[in-house]
Structure 1
Amino acid sequence: MSDMCSPTFSDLATRLGFSCEEAGGFAELRNPAALENWTLPVLEWTIVIGSVLALVYAIVRLRRHGDPTNLVLWFGATAFLFVIEPPIYFPATFHTEEYLGTMFAHNVFTVDFLWGRLPLYIIAIYPLMATLAFEIVRMLGVFRRYGVFLGAVCVGFVHHAFYEIFDQLGPQLRWWEWALDNKVNQPFFDSVPLPSVVVFAALWPMSLALCVQFFVGRHVDAGRRFSGLELVWRTVVIGLTASVGVFVLPLPATVFGMGSDTVRGFLYAAELVALSAVAVVVMARRWSQLRRESSDTARYTNDFVRYFSVVYLAVMALLWATALPDFFDAVDGVTPNGDPIGNLWYTLACFAVAIVCVIATFTVPQAKAGDGSIPSAGEPAAAGAA
């Protein structure tokens, strides 16, 4: 598909170590030992296995407890992916070249789709990350106590912490390469575009969580059952409306910062700070409430999310540890191999937030045997979530 190899994408691919002209077809399988470096298959299979397990958990929960929330979340995140990503990969085909241009290129992994544009792990990471963040917030009972909107804000905050650990490391290990001159990517926060730090790490999961909880989760909490057809159309609507949210939520930065990268960066950062401040207060208060409540009260728990969160953080810590020698040898933000580095202090802060969130889930009282891990009826739902 040489006609789709724009000069920018070809240049990014070359820097990542592969040829755009030879990047397979609709689907391609590669030898994992022949990838750019050993971290690529480690990342790939950690994410893919986690995503498959999240899907299995979602199916089991629906069949055993009649709760489709996890399944709708998983497929809603996947639907969002297929709405958002193709115009980014093929701006000429979707007539978005004037606005988006070529923003980045993924490296090639063991399994790739769309002529080297879409690695399998990217398909998997959307529902996996969404599941980890949503379920952590759900286990703390934030949706039921504080409502749909504040619960979604907390999901965005937790997702941001988990995602930025990965996002700040990717360019250095050649998991992907950003187009430095693309205006849509400006301004950069070290090696990562600030729009990615805010929009894709925090605002899109917030939008998705709001839609999932509004269209399905709050009704499940109230005891409603859905038919298969109802779940299908609600999942499609969730994917579409969450996509709209990605354009609406960052409007202050995209509209008022149109003429200045500095202003746009300030507004993006202000949105993230506001979201984080609200989430910290809400989650800290909720965690405190849980610790004061009776240990005899059963709460919703998700052991898969609790333990896989630990696995994810351990793998990311290993990958970061192996990247530190080159990180500390970097000059002017570039390693001796010519790769840009992320922000270590910001990553450590995200690690701290993610670890505290996971620890909090282990303080939630275990559900009693036979109760199906259903949230306690004695836990009042917020008026806005009813």
Structure 2
Amino acid sequence: MADHCSPTFDQLASALGFSCQEAGGLVEVRNPLALENWTLPVLELTIVLGSVLALVVAIVRMRRMGDPTNLVLWFGATAYLFIIEPPLYFPAAFGIEDHVDTMFAHNVFTVEFLWGRLPLYIISIYPLMATMAFEIVRMLGVFRRYGVLAGAVCVGFVHHAFYEIFDHLGPQLRWWEWSTENPINQPLFDSVPLPSVVVFAVLWPMSLAFCVQFFVGRHVDEGRRFSGPELVWRTVVIGVLASLGTFILPLPATVFGMGSTTARAVLYAAELLVVTVVAIWILVRQWMRLRGEKDGPTYTNHFVQRYGVVYLSVMALLWATALPDYFGAVDGVTDNGDPVGNLWYTLACFAVAVLCVVATFTVPRRNTAGSDIASAEAPATTGP
């Protein structure tokens, strides 16, 4: 699709080792053993498998217990992806090329869509990450105890921890390439644009979680059941509103920091700090409260607990194999010319993610049908 090979994307694709002009079609399948390096198929398998399993668990939960929250979350995250990402891949096709240049390019993976722009694992990572973060917060009973907004803030914080482990490793292993000259990507936090660290790692999952819990989750907790058409329109609304939230929530940085990269950095960091402080206070306080009770929440998602361990283990392995080149980097660039992320920040995110997963194992649980496929304590009712 040479007509859509902008100079920036063509340059990024070349840096990643493939040609924009020759990049597949609407759908393309490649040999996983012939990708850029061995980490690409490992990452792809981990994310796609996890996302499929999350979808299966969500379907089973809805069919057995009448709780569609996880299913709406999964499809809401996917809807968000298809609203947000295509304009970033094809600015000219959407008439925004004068305002938004190509921000990044993904490397080519085993399964690709949209002429080398959209790997299957990227479609999968949105609902998988959202599910893990949302369910950890849900298992700790934060939504029930503190409400929709506080729960959403905690989801954004937990998602950030899981996502930044991946975000700071990708450029070094050539999973994608950032357009570092693009003003939208400024300022950079080592190899990662600070807007990615804040907007895509914190604010969009926070926005999504708020919408899911507001439109579906809180009603399910009260015992309500939804019809098929109700779930469809609510899922669409969630995807749209979560997208709007991604535009609205970072406005302090994007508006007041418009004329200064430094001001923008300070404001992004301030938003991240506020979310972090609030979430840590709520999560620690709630965990300590649950530890002091004989009977904790009725809800447990064993899939998220176990796959959280799998995800963190795979990421730890990938990071470990990348460390020799990381420590050999000069001025933040490896001998292969790849930028490195921030190891100390990644270690902090690892610590938070591990503690969050461990927390779900260490709170007492009531011996009910609440594991994986159970939900609200109240009997189900049907409402308008």
Q: Cα deviation per residue 1:239-289 (whole Å; 9 max; x = unaligned)?
A: 000000000000000000000000001100000000000000000000001
- Structure 2 SS opposite 1:331: coil
Which residue is 2:327 aligned to? 328
Amino acid at match of 2:76: G
Which residue is 1:70 aligned to? 70
Q: Cα deviation per residue 1:287-331 (whole Å; 9 max; x = unaligned)?
A: 001000114x55210000000000000000000000000000000
- Structure 1 SS opposite 2:335: coil
Distance of aligned partners of 1:206 and 1:285 in 2 relative to their CA distance in 1, 3 Å threshold:
same
- State whether residues 298 and 368 of structure 1, in contact with CA within 8 Å, keep that contact through their aligned partners in structure 2: no
Which residue is 1:381 aligned to? none
1:126-205 correspondence to structure 2 within 5 Å: 126-205=126-205
How big is the shift at 1:363?
A: 1.6
Distance in 2, matches of 1:85 and 1:18, equals: 21
TM-score, normalised relative to structure 1: 0.96
1:79 aligned onto 2:52: no
Distance of aligned partners of 1:163 and 1:264 in 2 relative to their CA distance in 1, 3 Å threshold:
same
1:52-63 correspondence to structure 2 within 5 Å: 52-63=52-63
Q: Cα deviation per residue 1:14-62 (whole Å; 9 max; x = unaligned)?
A: 1101000100000000000000000000000100000000000000000
Amino acid at match of 2:282: V
Which residue is 2:110 aligned to? 110
Distance in 2, matches of 1:51 and 1:365, equals: 28
Distance of aligned partners of 1:276 and 1:79 in 2 relative to their CA distance in 1, 3 Å threshold:
same
- Structure 2 SS opposite 1:112: strand
- State whether residues 35 and 109 of structure 2, in contact with CA within 8 Å, keep that contact through their aligned partners in structure 1: yes
1:1-386 correspondence to structure 2 within 5 Å: 1-295=1-295, 297=296, 299-370=298-369, 373-376=374-377
Distance of aligned partners of 1:155 and 1:298 in 2 relative to their CA distance in 1, 3 Å threshold:
closer
Gaps of 5+ in 2: 379-384
How big is the shift at 1:366?
A: 3.5
- State whether residues 211 and 241 of structure 1, in contact with CA within 8 Å, keep that contact through their aligned partners in structure 2: yes
Q: Cα deviation per residue 1:145-182 (whole Å; 9 max; x = unaligned)?
A: 00000000000000000000000000000000000110
Gaps of 5+ in 1: 378-386
Distance in 2, matches of 1:31 and 1:367, equals: 47
Stretch of structure 1 that moved more, 16-25 or 356-365: 356-365
- State whether residues 298 and 375 of structure 1, in contact with CA within 8 Å, keep that contact through their aligned partners in structure 2: no
How big is the shift at 1:375?
A: 5.0
Which residue is 2:382 aligned to? none
- Structure 2 SS opposite 1:28: strand
Amino acid at match of 2:367: K
Distance in 2, matches of 1:56 and 1:367, equals: 24
TM-score, normalised relative to structure 2: 0.96
Amino acid at match of 1:48: V
Distance in 2, matches of 1:310 and 1:243, equals: 29
- Structure 1 SS opposite 2:224: coil
Distance in 1, matches of 2:47 and 2:113, equals: 16
Amino acid at match of 1:311: V
How big is the shift at 1:364?
A: 2.9
- Structure 1 SS opposite 2:162: helix
- Structure 2 SS opposite 1:20: coil
Amino acid at match of 1:229: P
Amino acid at match of 1:341: V
Q: CA RMSD in A?
A: 1.0
- State whether residues 104 and 179 of structure 1, in contact with CA within 8 Å, keep that contact through their aligned partners in structure 2: yes
- Structure 1 SS opposite 2:122: helix
Distance in 1, matches of 2:276 and 2:219, equals: 27
- Structure 2 SS opposite 1:341: coil
Q: Cα deviation per residue 1:72-126 (whole Å; 9 max; x = unaligned)?
A: 0000000000000000000000112122211000000000000000000000000
- State whether residues 27 and 111 of structure 1, in contact with CA within 8 Å, keep that contact through their aligned partners in structure 2: yes
Amino acid at match of 2:374: S
Amino acid at match of 1:17: G
Distance in 2, matches of 1:170 and 1:370, equals: 40
Distance in 2, matches of 1:167 and 1:100, equals: 22
